[in-house]
Structure 1
Amino acid sequence: MKCPFCGCLDDKVLNSRTAKEGEAVRRRRECLACARRFTTYEQIEEMRLVVVKRDGRREPFDRSKVLRGLTVACEKRPVATDILEDIVDRIERHIVDSNTTEIESMSLGEMAMQELRKVDKVAYVRFASVYRQFEDIGQFRTIIDGLGDRSAQRKPIKR
């Protein structure tokens, strides 16, 4: 740490303790060049996730907005709120794990669609229709045909 008095980079830590209700670490240091003491605070730098919209605007990531979109798609469907919250958690974790501070709204929507597809296919189609801005019935057919329930394609079990 650079000494605020002489600018030397060599110091020793005399004392460390938590501060700001555990949100930071307070360190008492002594400069090895001028022997003066100073205090530093260390805290976690919060990642501020930014969503890049289709028109280029940027806005802060808002998990409640993602949850609201999923909730609307699942309206009158047998999908519990905790499942939707888990989906938002997974999406947020994926973004954070990718070590990026920006994500395009298109990517965010695709992640939400992938997660919804696993949970409820009707909600998936609803979400896709709004997210991809469907304009005709053909677009609905395409996405529904793409669902292709694999269990229905299996041969029936002979008894």
Structure 2
Amino acid sequence: MKCPYCNSPDTKVTDSRDTDDGTSIRRRRQCLACGRRFTTYETVEETQLRVIKKDGSRELFDRTKIRNGIIRACEKRNITSAQIEEVVNRIEKKIRNGLEPEVSTETIGRLVMDELKDLDQVAYVRFASVYREFKDIGSFMSELEALMNSHKGKDTPLSGRKDSHEH
């Protein structure tokens, strides 16, 4: 770190502590050439994640769009806001951990579908019907059959099975 007074590159850190809000580190430094002290702040630099849309255009990542899509798919289902927020957090974490500066809407859609498949099958089908843009009833039925086959034997809203503990 260059000294702001004499431009010497030789400085040392004399004290480090977190800021009150915990978003950065305050460092007190001393120039080894002129002896003057100064303060620097270290913060995390978040990358600007961009989304590649189907038409090839790009826009900044907005987790609100993911949340809104999930909320629409989960409408009138027994799913809490906290559950939806957890799903959105997991999806965003996976995207950011991918370390790529850009992500396609197709990738985001697959991540949402993977999460919804485990959360609620009806919400999954609702989201899939928009995301996959089914051209006809046959392609929609194929998706339903695949979902039902992947959940055979499980007590799910699509299987029509009742809890076997009832006597």
Aligning the two structures, in what range does the TM-score lie when normalised by the shorter sequence?
0.7 to 0.9
Offset from partner CA, 1:29-83 (integer Å, 9 cap, x none): 2222333333322122234322221122222222221111111112222322222
| 1:35 maps onto 2:59 in alignment | no
> Match of 1:50?
50
Whole-angstrom distance in 2 between the partners of 1:17 and 1:81? 36
TM-superposed CA distance for 1:113, in Å, is: 0.4
- Aligned residues, how many? 154
Deviates more, 1:85-94 or 1:9-18: 9-18
TM-superposed CA distance for 1:5, in Å, is: 4.1
Offset from partner CA, 1:95-150 (integer Å, 9 cap, x none): 22222332111100000001111122222111111011112111101111211132
RMSD over equivalenced CA pairs, Å? 2.4
Q: How does 1:1-159 map to 2 (within 5 A)?
A: 1-19=1-19, 21-147=21-147, 148=149, 149-151=151-153
Offset from partner CA, 1:10-41 (integer Å, 9 cap, x none): 21123334447443323222222333333322
Taking structure 2 as the reference length, the TM-score comes to 0.79
Residue segments in structure 1 that go unaligned for 5+ positions in a row: none
Taking structure 1 as the reference length, the TM-score comes to 0.82
- Supply the AA of the counterpart residue of 1:113: M
Whole-angstrom distance in 2 between the partners of 1:78 and 1:21? 36
Q: State the identity as a percent.
A: 48
TM-superposed CA distance for 1:6, in Å, is: 4.2
